[in-house]
Structure formats: structure tokens, C-alpha cells
Structure 1
């Protein structure tokens, strides 16, 4: 949301009104609605008031520290709802039992509130709407489908299957990168200890040399000086930088878009491929399952794109539905995005022509899943050369930094 200073003419006098809107036209429209007896002259974008800026900052900080509902807890409660509704138990009684049985306090509160809303006459999808962020777009779509078909149980079993698939892939990726991250951390800690313990023992010896020290030795001495005098400050800067990046990534859309675009750039070895494959697998999985469940293609596309976290990829996928609305078929709309290989586009095209789109989407999803699993299974092999390179650099720097002055001293003695 943006802020606009809107100039209105009321009884021959001009005055400024601060209006909050998405764009200039919306601000003018809002001013006309808010002051029907006045004439709107112009609207100029302005900075947010201090109190609103502080309020947004506090909301952002609260959001940054707020933990997400664990996906295992969500899957467990969704499975319970599917089983209980399949047994013929009323949805309000089901939600009450699920609320009582879950140990997650946030989910307990959500299901209690949803139960109250249903008892007040709301539908299940209406009761879930305020918690779209907690449950996700696909949960709301499957709930709507279950209400339309009258089979909440089947829809929720399918929803749990989708979430389990996404959870398993995320878990595999985290497990695959855990080893390299631990190795990197151990390398950093070991190098820091060597700098703080070993280098000071040679510092006095180096200070007696009358000649200029080699570059590796100068680097080690400067690092030792920095760690000794500003070690705490360096840690604060590092953790502060990480927190700042995380905060802006979650709360500033422009910053997130730039970061997401950078992360899928070919220069980001492995990272770009992992993000692309996991995103496309998740998108096609949800889209295919929704189409298979009977949801219209247009609605399925909107729901599936809501599962995409990377804004750079999401921007391209958002154009798919718009292009379909202009008369393109699905394969043509996907081709314009540049995200699909020609083989996959031919499969989707054949599926549309033969009335077997859901079957072809399954094959596309399996392709991305196969590529992603191959990347995860071989991640250690891909990363190992990089790790060896960094280890070699650190060992070489330490060895040359300590021994080169000794060699020079030995040559001077011989001379």
C-alpha cells in the first residue's frame, strides 16, 4: 500500500487529505467516495506517516520472529479431518475433536475459531479463509472442491498427500545440504581458532624481521588483529546482516524480487537449479492434482501459482492464466514463460488435444521430481570440489603465512 496527499476543494477552500491506496487512481477514487461533496483536484504520492512506518516495522518484526505452523502438525490434523468426515461425523464435531487432540496451540486456536464460525452458519471454506496464510492456497482450493462435490474426506486425503510430497522433498533437500553446511561451519571455526591461537605465537618473531613480510603473513596478522580487537563487533555485524537480509526478504517485495531473480541466475551454481526444480515440481504437482480433482484449469492455475515462493518465477507463471484468457492454449501459454522444455510442452499439448491433460501433467511433475531427486542424490558429489577448493585455500594461506617468513630468515642466515 502507498500513501497519497490528495488535494480536495470543499466550499471554496483547498485542503490536503492523506489517503492510503494501491495506486494513484485508487487514491482518487477513494477520496471521491470518502468526500462525496468535495472536488478532488490532484493526488501526489508521499512518504508514510511516522506512526504508520513504525507500526509496519513492528508488524514486520513480529512476522519475522513468528514461527510457521509445522507442516507435520498440519498434515496430521488434515488427515484426522479426512478420516472423521469419512466416518460420517459432522464437520463442527470433527473440528472440535481435532482442536482438542492437537498439541499445537496455534492450530488449536484456529480450529476452535473455525468451529465457532461454522456453528454461526459459515461454510468451512469461509471459516478457513482468514487462515489462508497458515494453511496455504491449495488447502483453501481443496476445501472449496470438497464443498462443491460434497466429499470433504476425499479432498482432504488428497490435500494431505500433496502436503506430504512437498514436505518430503523439502526434508531431503535440507538433509542434503546439512553436511556441507556443517563442514563449512567447522572450517570457519577451525580457521578462526588457528588465527587466534597459532598466529600470536609467531607474531613477536615476525615483528623482529627487518624486511617486509610476505602478503600471506600480512593477511594472517591483519586477521588476527581484527579478531582480537573487534571479534564481538564482527559477530554482531554478521548476525545483524543476516537478520536484516531476512527481514527485508520477508517484508519488502522489491527486495525479495531482486533476491529471487538473483538466486535463479545461472551464475549461482547448484542453488539456481535446486530452486528452479523444487519450485516447478511443487507448481506442477499442485496444478495437476487440482485438474485431476475436477477444478477448472483457470482456477487450478491461480491456486498453483499461489504455492510459488520465488517471485521471479511467479511473475512468469502469473501470465499463463492471462494468456489463456486471450485465447491461447495451455501449451502456448507455458511456452511464453520460457520455464518449460520443448519435450514437456509437447506432452502438455498432446494431453490437451487428447483430453488427457491430467495424465500428461502427472508425467511433467514426475520429470521435475526425477530431476530434483537426481540433484539431491548427487549434491555431495557436486559440492565436494568446491569444499576441497576452500579447504585448500585456507590451508595454503595458513602454511604460506607462517613458513614463508621462516624461509626468508633461513636464506638471510645462510647469506
Structure 2
């Protein structure tokens, strides 16, 4: 069996699909039957193309890929189209090779009797809460309703991720580019002024001396410093990914010791936990299983340890509210809401309310960060510019006043 690149035409648009087949005729037949697209031609892929395409096709679906796929499938299913035909339609409009490959394999799997959730697990994070909810929807027979729930969950998560990344990345990127500009000035511009200043034959101001010495240090040791930083970062991330104890230590510091960053990360984690717990409870999954699913999808070791403690407490007979209180992650005000919800049999509703509270707090805190950080960054950049300007112009002014 070989891999064939089949050229197709659908509603005027051309697309290429890669399939496994015994011969050219079978390859074109597979595309026509399984994808409902008219094949134009098929060619055997050479080994080089196969290896490159295999790497691309092996790529897993991303978060936003899954959101897009589910949004499109949901619209088509509501219109009365079957799941397989809906996926085929999404395949026709998809532009990414790895997305096309994943969708084509899902269609092939559905033809063999596999479930949609199991096929999605092969091409997305199998520990994802989305996969767990999808399984519940398949068992209940109401895929349309579950897809609607999943889409709402993913859309909220997408907005949340975007806001957090924007809040944390903007000041970081600005500082990095400012430092890079400063280093470039020290490496290439300041040395030219240094030669001119030395030709004056006068004692230089302290600011200028500091600037010139810093420039000389950067020019002499800059490469070694850069290589050292890169090596340290590579070693750090390697240990972070491979050493669980080290990862737990770093995650604990990130979540508890760094004032602005820790508060942002903790609020974000609380929102993710409560929004995930809400959707799992609404899907009919019990509390322990829901928390276990959230645990499996959580990568932060500090949060994982706290969730493990809460799960143990629930298994030992404690209520959800008391178990979460023992975990030490949740605010007392939100614990009281969960406790009230348990007492009146409305736990999912109260969890939803708690999720809304954490989302509101997170958005408010991110807004506060933006308002506070920008003035500090402006002062930092202004101070650097002023220092460079004074260092360069003070010798010139001194020379002018001495003439």
C-alpha cells in the first residue's frame, strides 16, 4: 500500500488530499466515497514528500482548531446533516494540512465504527475535559446539546487565554525590546562616541564613564553572557519538564511568591477549575470523577497537589466545599457559596456563579495591571534614554563651556 496525493475539485475550489491506497483508481475512489469530493487526478508520493507530509500529518490539533471544527460541525448538525457528512464539509473548507489529515482519519474511523470521542482523542489531548464531555454526550445520545456546551466552554476559555497572555506578554516584550535596543547602542554606537570623547583630553563625567565601561564590558563579554543565558534557559526548561520535584518547586514559587504574576496565575487557575467543574457537573459526571478529569488536564504541579488533597478529602466523606477549603486554593467567600449550593441541591449552579466571580476578578485584575504597569514601563524607558543622553551630551557641554 502506498500514499497517493489526490487532486480534487469542489464548488470551484481545488484541494489536495493524501490517502493510503493500493493503486491510483482505489485512491480516487476512496476520496469520492469517504469525502464526497470529485477527484481529478492522483499521483504516488515520493519518499521525500512522504516523510515531510508524515511530519505535518502527525501534528496534533490545536485548541483553536478544535474550537473551529466543533463550531462548524455544530452548525451543520443543527441543519440536519449527519456527523460524518458534517466533518466531510469541514474538511472541504479546511486549509491546514494537519487539520485535513486529522479530519480525514476521523471520517475513516467513523466508517469503521469507532466513536467520535475516541477519534478526537487520537488527534487532540486525550486527557482534555472536552474529550470527557464528548464521551458523555455520545452515551446520552444528545451530541448536539453537548457540542453546544463544549463550544461555549471553549469560547470562554479562548477569551480567557487571550486576555491573560496579552496582560503578561505586553510588558515583558516591551522590556525585552528596550534592553535589546540598549545593548545595541552600547555595542555599536557608544564605542564611536568613546573614541571622540577620549580625543578631548578632558576628565569625563561619571555618567559617561559608566556608559563607556558598560559598553566595553558588553563588547568583550556579551557573547559569553548571551550563550550562558541561553544554556541556563535550556537547562532550566529541561529540568522543569523532566523533574517533577523541581517543577513543583517552580510552580509553587510562581503561584505564591511573585506578587502580580502569582495573583494573575492563581485567579486564572481558579477560573479554569470552576468553569471546568461546572461543565462536567452539568454533563452528569460526579464530583470525584470531575475533579479527577480536571486533575489530569492540569499541568501546574502546585494546583495538581491541591486538587489531589481535595479529592482525598471527598473520598473520606467530606463535602465539596469542605474539601476545597482544605485544599487552600479557594477564597472563603466562594467556599460559602459552594456550601450553600450543596445544601439546597444546586451545586452546578453555584459553581457556575463562583466561576463568574473568578472571571470577573481576573478581568478586573488584568485591567489594573495594565493601568499600573504602563506608567512604570514609561518611567523605566525614559530613565534609560535620559541616562544615555546625559552620558553623551555632558562631555560636549563641558567642552563647550571650557572654550
TM-score range, shorter chain: 0.7 to 0.9
Are 2:155 and 1:160 aligned?
no
Task: From 330, 349, 368, give the equivalent of 1:359.
Answer: 349
SS at match of 2:161: helix
Are 2:99 and 1:103 aligned?
no
Are 2:182 and 1:191 aligned?
yes
Partner of 1:394: 384
With the length of structure 1 as denominator, give the TM-score of the two structures.
Answer: 0.72
Mapped contact 1:278–1:372 kept (Cα < 8 A): yes
Matches of residues 244-393 of structure 1 in structure 2 within 5 Å? 244-266=235-257, 268-391=258-381, 393=383
Distance 1:371 1:409, change over 3 A: same
Mapped contact 2:193–2:392 kept (Cα < 8 A): no
| CA drift at 1:387 | 1.7
- Partners of 2:342 and 2:398 in 1: CA distance: 75
* 1:265-324 Cα shifts (integer Å, max 9, x gaps): 33x231111111111111110111111222222222122233433221221012222211
- Partners of 1:346 and 1:276 in 2: CA distance: 19
With the length of structure 2 as denominator, give the TM-score of the two structures.
Answer: 0.74
Greater shift after overlay, 276-285 or 237-246? 237-246
Partner of 2:116: 124
SS at match of 1:306: helix
| CA drift at 1:364 | 0.5
SS at match of 2:256: coil
SS at match of 2:299: coil
Unaligned 5+ segments in structure 1 are 1-62
| CA drift at 1:262 | 1.8
* 1:184-211 Cα shifts (integer Å, max 9, x gaps): 2442243224323135413564598798
| CA drift at 1:253 | 3.4
- Partners of 1:70 and 1:129 in 2: CA distance: 12
Distance 1:377 1:289, change over 3 A: same
Partner of 2:29: none
Distance 1:272 1:147, change over 3 A: same
Are 2:137 and 1:113 aligned?
no
| CA drift at 1:145 | 1.1
Partner of 2:167: 176
Mapped contact 2:337–2:350 kept (Cα < 8 A): yes
Mapped contact 1:305–1:318 kept (Cα < 8 A): yes
- Partners of 1:406 and 1:116 in 2: CA distance: 76
Distance 1:240 1:192, change over 3 A: same
- Partners of 2:201 and 2:151 in 1: CA distance: 70
